[in-house]
Amino acid sequence: HAKHSGNDRYLTFSSDMAQRSVELMNLETDLRHAVNREELELHYQPKVGGDGRTVVGCEALIRWRHPRLGLVSPGDFIPLAEESGLIIPIGRWTLAEACRQFMEWRRHGISPPSISVNVSVRQFNDSQFLDNVRDVLDGTGMPAGCLDLEITESVMMGDVERAVSALNTLKAMGVTLSIDDFGTGYSSLNYLKTFPIDTLKIDQTFVRDVEHDTKDAAIIATIVSLAKNLGFQVVAEGVESREQMDFLRSNDCSLFQGFWVSRPLPATDFSIFLKNSAAPAPKS
């Protein structure tokens, strides 16, 4: 492309953009059929303990295998799914598939101790959500204690009382609850008193430059001690290097997720990863 004039490049760029916006318009139509056409799949990323090897859980992360566009990441279709309401059937599928897969691993004696599933705000606020969780647990035989639901601070931006009551209902079912992307939302610390949560997941933006940025380091140290003092577990997301892991460990954070350990893997690859790693006895 070095030979092209700036003008040529602009034309190419703008026709790509036109192409791209057509693709985006088609995307919603395509997404409507994605569940039925079985184009969605879950990849799994291990959550490990302080030794960097012991798998204490995993997170299910959705991908869309689009017939023309290839593998589409959630950042490119979850917002669209939220806006259009398609997150409801997609979220239902995700929860069922994660539990089905977990039970399959379990039958083979290789399941991680727990599986975390992301729940978006619209899904959480849907009147069917609690029934859906109950139905999936019953339908798959999944032990509730092995299911962890990741919500974000944004669930607090709506009806707080309703949110707390829904979370209490989930806790009563036996599932565990994590706050995802902790530290990036708008809510006050006050909810940490009222939310029946188990785990804070430190957002990866704080982890990224932690060895060089003293403010990030201070924020992480503070989140860890906040979590410990309140009796929550704390997990660091987006750990990409040995140095980041060492920093976290020396700051009392001993649960990690990130490319340093493993990228999210398709189910088959994840089961190979599990076989090759130390695993604590499964919870029952």
Q: Which is nearer to ligand C2E, 148 or 237 (CB)?
A: 237
Q: For the CB of residue 206, give the shortest distance to ligand C2E in the complex, in Å.
A: 12
- The binder of 94, among ligand C2E, Mg ion, none, by C-beta within 5 to 8 A per type, is ligand C2E
Q: For the CB of residue 61, give the shortest distance to ligand C2E in the complex, in Å.
A: 4
Q: Which is nearer to Mg ion, 30 or 237 (CB)?
A: 237
Is 181 a binding residue for Mg ion by CB under 5 A? The answer is yes
Q: Which is nearer to ligand C2E, 169 or 204 (CB)?
A: 204
Residues 81-120 close enough to bind Mg ion by CB under 5 A: 118
Q: Report the largest interatomic distance among the alpha carbons of the chain, rounded to a whole angstrom.
A: 65
Interacting residues toward ligand C2E by CB under 6 A: 45, 61-62, 73-75, 78, 91, 94, 118, 120, 150, 180-181, 204, 237-240, 257-259, 264
Q: For the CB of residue 164, give the shortest distance to ligand C2E in the complex, in Å.
A: 21
Q: Is 7 exposed, middle or buried (0-12, 13-18, 19+ CB in 10 A)?
A: exposed
Q: For the CB of residue 154, give the shortest distance to Mg ion in the complex, in Å.
A: 11
- The binder of 97, among ligand C2E, Mg ion, none, by C-beta within 5 to 8 A per type, is none
- The binder of 30, among Mg ion, ligand C2E, none, by C-beta within 5 to 8 A per type, is none
Residues 220-259 close enough to bind Mg ion by CB under 5 A: 237
- The binder of 112, among ligand C2E, Mg ion, none, by C-beta within 5 to 8 A per type, is none
Q: For the CB of residue 104, give the shortest distance to ligand C2E in the complex, in Å.
A: 18
**DSSP of the chain, one letter per residue?**
-TTS-HHHHHHHHHHHHHHHHHHHHHHHHHHHHHTTTT-EEEEEEEEE-TTS--EEEEEEEEEEEETTTEEE-HHHHHHHHHHHSTHHHHHHHHHHHHHHHHHHHHHTT---S-EEEE--HHHHHSTTHHHHHHHHHHHHT--GGGEEEEEEGGGGGS-HHHHHHHHHHHHHHT-EEEEEEETSS---TTHHHHS---EEEE-HHHHTTTTT-HHHHHHHHHHHHHHHHHT-EEEE----SHHHHHHHHHTT---B-STTT---EEHHHHHHHHHTS--PPPP-
Residues 118-157 close enough to bind Mg ion by CB under 5 A: 118, 150
Q: For the CB of residue 117, give the shortest distance to Mg ion in the complex, in Å.
A: 9
- The binder of 244, among Mg ion, ligand C2E, none, by C-beta within 5 to 8 A per type, is none
Q: Does residue 205 contact residue 246 with C-beta atoms inside 8 Å?
A: no
Chain residues binding Mg ion by CB under 5 A are 118, 150, 180-181, 237
